[in-house]
Structure 1
């Protein structure tokens, strides 16, 4: 009986063929481990670049959002500590910084692989602020918010991967857009007075606070379960999503005043961050 037949039957032979096969298997396992390590290291090494991409794009969005007259009026009521309503910089200075920030963002995006996402984000920022899309109706506003935040997901993933996204990544970006579209009115709860002063249509002002709070709690609860299920998340992923989402939903329903509504909004930001981490918390 030859060595091939013995190996096929599961019999170990001490001959040269068995040793050679063992060496090949060992080499294969080693190379696979090295490949996995290289892949993980490649992604990890791009995390600072991803964070830089997010920061510069967020800087552009923030300046563009806060520099216009209507935003200054609103922030004077809701967020008087911001640079423009507090008088630390003028609208003209904000415009100059915006030009610098856009140039820096485009340069970094070209280098990082997130250029297309940045360009698309700039379009949404322009529509939301300069074309006054934020005051063009609640659902247009929410759609622009969702589109902008989808660009952040897109750009962050593209930067991490060097510009290439798998189909699952695009599906997840669409899911995050739906999450934003259906829950972003959490930001409107603490800003009701400022939004009234500006004449902005928001979910609480258009449909009433009760409807806004109930719908927020329902949709947050739904996504808190659906997203971990989508990624087949580990217990840690499930715990993060459901605990933060549950706390936010309860506080939103309790309606304990503006101070606690600010907490609801901060919890929403933390909750979204936890959802964004779910791909890294798969089983």
Structure 2
């Protein structure tokens, strides 16, 4: 029994480590959290749906992360040595088997909710395949940003369908929320690339910081400020909230522009996730004001 217990614990820890770096930004209700987004965009009518939403997100995130980490061995060996493959917790062959075993598990889980949730799962699996196995992650920065945006949109649609009272369709505000979120991701997701520039350069990746070293940081400053104005208008924020969102965007942009060390970029990315979390919560704010 003791051996079985430690084996189970080892498996659980290994699975957690695959998703560890994304837990705070994708699963928990902070940063670019799809669970938080789903509660606002759906909106969530029953708090008992929250565990369903979070588990659906986590399992699909695990599918993406295992796929990504079986592809980016060189990058992880440089930037993220504590991940399961470079740390030796799991072999590459075992990780590849796990990667493909997770696909039917994700689809099977989605069948418990609706056909439309299955479609979102299929879309997410497809964009994962394009991003990783078809090497969009190492291609042109524009393709990478667009595929990222479509993948995040798939996360959001699936999670919102599970969160809402109708698992077969999103209402007009929900659809608009997903479209706006995809636009934000497509134009700002490279905020994550500045802290990884050394590793990305070592494996030949063509990210925005590498392709446009002279003005790459302006591509964070300007979009964050512009999106703050757009969101303020779209979700009808009052003056105080609009100013706070815009000031936060200027603060983050200033950090990216002036604090250019790896540690500085890591902290700036955390602040970017705070702004993104607020942006994802605004549809809920809008719904509450217009209920």
TM-score by length of 2: 0.77
Q: 1:277 to 1:234 in 2, by over 3 A?
A: farther
Match of 2:175 in 1: 170
Q: How many residues align?
A: 242
Q: Which moved more, 1:156-165 or 1:59-68?
A: 156-165
Q: 1:40 to 1:91 in 2, by over 3 A?
A: closer
Task: State the structure with more CA Rg.
Answer: 1
Matched, 1:147 2:160: no
Match of 1:33 in 2: none
Which deviations, in whole Å up to 9, do the C-alpha atoms of 1:202-223 show, x marking residues without a partner?
1111111x41111111101111
Query: For 1:86 and 1:220, how far apart are their aligned partners in 2?
Result: 36
**In 2, are the aligned partners of 1:154 and 1:173 still within 8 Å (CA)?**
yes
Q: 1:259 to 1:182 in 2, by over 3 A?
A: same
Query: In the alignment, which of 253, 256, 278 is matched to residue 260 of structure 2?
Result: 256
**In 2, are the aligned partners of 1:251 and 1:264 still within 8 Å (CA)?**
yes
Which deviations, in whole Å up to 9, do the C-alpha atoms of 1:68-106 show, x marking residues without a partner?
2xx110111111221112222111121222233223221
Q: 1:109 to 1:258 in 2, by over 3 A?
A: same
Q: Which moved more, 1:44-53 or 1:142-151?
A: 44-53
Which deviations, in whole Å up to 9, do the C-alpha atoms of 1:134-165 show, x marking residues without a partner?
12211111111111011111112111122321
> Secondary structure at the residue paired with 2:193?
helix
> Secondary structure at the residue paired with 1:199?
coil
Match of 1:31 in 2: none
What is the RMSD computed on CA atoms of the aligned residues? 2.1
Match of 1:78 in 2: 79
Query: In the alignment, which of 173, 187, 195 is matched to residue 190 of structure 1?
Result: 195
**In 1, are the aligned partners of 2:43 and 2:163 still within 8 Å (CA)?**
no
Q: 1:61 to 1:236 in 2, by over 3 A?
A: farther
Q: 1:53 to 1:243 in 2, by over 3 A?
A: farther
Match of 1:207 in 2: 212
Shift of 1:235: 6.9
Q: Using CA pairs under 8 Å that are at least 6 residues apart, name the structure with larger relative contact order, 1 or 2.
A: 2
Query: For 2:102 and 2:70, how far apart are their aligned partners in 1?
Result: 14
Q: 1:41 to 1:173 in 2, by over 3 A?
A: closer
TM-score by length of 1: 0.79
Shift of 1:240: 6.5
**In 1, are the aligned partners of 2:43 and 2:160 still within 8 Å (CA)?**
no
Q: Which moved more, 1:257-266 or 1:109-118?
A: 109-118
**In 2, are the aligned partners of 1:150 and 1:174 still within 8 Å (CA)?**
yes
Structure 1 segments, 4+ long, off by >6 Å, are: none
Query: For 2:236 and 2:229, how far apart are their aligned partners in 1?
Result: 11
Query: In the alignment, which of 134, 137, 140 is matched to residue 140 of structure 2?
Result: 137
Query: In the alignment, which of 44, 49, 52 is matched to residue 46 of structure 1?
Result: 49
Query: For 2:110 and 2:241, how far apart are their aligned partners in 1?
Result: 30
> Secondary structure at the residue paired with 1:163?
coil
Shift of 1:200: 0.6
Shift of 1:115: 1.4
Q: 1:274 to 1:127 in 2, by over 3 A?
A: same
Query: For 2:55 and 2:248, how far apart are their aligned partners in 1?
Result: 26
Matched, 1:118 2:139: no
Query: For 1:55 and 1:96, how far apart are their aligned partners in 2?
Result: 18
